């Protein structure tokens, strides 16, 4: 993607969705952290179905700990990799209680020190909960970054660094959401919907198949 196309690319996405947000359901920073931790290799829809029931009975670190591992697994067993995720969430809750007074920390270093919390999860919390310009590169953003030419890279970190450098500051806080939603609903993996894409004029990708 040419540099002169980046501003109109995001201006178009912003015009269509001025206040984008995550599709994960949450009412507190801890709920957000928990939902993102559970969302790896799972859909937001599937995570929301599980957390609606979980958060109704336990939505603080201590309450999750009170459930115990088996009790927690009972609520999240419909989510992929739930055994390891339950273990990580329990361990994270223990650290939050013991080291952070049950408050989710606001620094990348402290977040990434929590079990099961990698760079992507930390970026989501920093961006969504605390309004910091951060880019959580999931499969959708990795694909959109490479396909459009906006932030090409061979690894998620490389794509993240390129996007953080190229995206104008005015769009940086919300860019994460626009790119995820665009990848999820328009710039899809197998069959990108180029013929109905509002930013196709600025994209480097040229579809190989004709308009249906």
Tokens of 63: 């309450």
Tokens of 116: 């099961």
Q: How far is CA 77 from CA 38, 46, 165, in A?
A: 11, 11, 39
Element (DSSP H or E) covering residue 56: helix 44-57
Q: Which residues of 23-53 are buried (b: 16+ CB within 10 A; e: fewer)?
A: ebebeebbbbbbbbbbbbebebeebbebbee
Could you tell me if 126 and 134 are in contact, meaning their C-beta atoms sit under 8 angstroms apart? yes
- Compute the radius of gyration of the chain from its Cα atoms: 18
Question: Is 174 one of the catalytic residues?
Answer: no
The C-alpha atoms of residue 112 and residue 121 are separated, in whole angstroms, by 8
DSSP code, position 201: G
Question: Is 138 one of the catalytic residues?
Answer: yes
Q: How far is CA 54 from CA 84, 123, 202, in A?
A: 17, 24, 43
- Which of the following is catalytic: 85, 120, 162, 174? 120
- Which of the following is catalytic: 2, 49, 87, 138? 138
Catalytic residues, by residue number, are 120, 138
């Amino acid at each position: 993607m040419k540099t002169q196309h980046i501003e109109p690319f995001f201006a178009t996405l912003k015009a269509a969705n001025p206040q984008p947000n995550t599709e994960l359901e949450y009412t507190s920073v801890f709920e957000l952290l928990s939902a993102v931790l559970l969302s790896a290799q799972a859909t937001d829809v599937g995570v929301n179905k599980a957390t609606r029931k979980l958060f109704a009975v336990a939505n603080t670190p201590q309450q999750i700990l009170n459930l115990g591992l088996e009790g927690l697994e009972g609520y999240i067993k419909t989510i992929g990799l739930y055994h390891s995720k339950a273990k990580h969430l329990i361990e994270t809750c223990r650290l939050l209680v013991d080291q952070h007074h049950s408050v989710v920390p606001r620094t990348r270093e402290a977040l990434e020190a929590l079990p099961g919390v990698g760079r992507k999860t930390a970026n989501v919390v920093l961006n969504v909960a605390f309004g910091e310009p951060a880019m959580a590169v999931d499969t959708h953003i990795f694909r959109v970054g490479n396909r459009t030419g906006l932030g090409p890279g061979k690894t998620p970190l490389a794509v993240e660094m390129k996007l953080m450098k190229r995206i104008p500051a005015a769009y940086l806080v919300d860019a994460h959401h626009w790119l995820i939603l665009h990848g999820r609903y328009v710039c899809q993996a197998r069959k990108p919907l180029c013929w109905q894409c509002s930013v196709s004029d600025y994209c480097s990708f040229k579809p190989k198949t004709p308009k249906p």
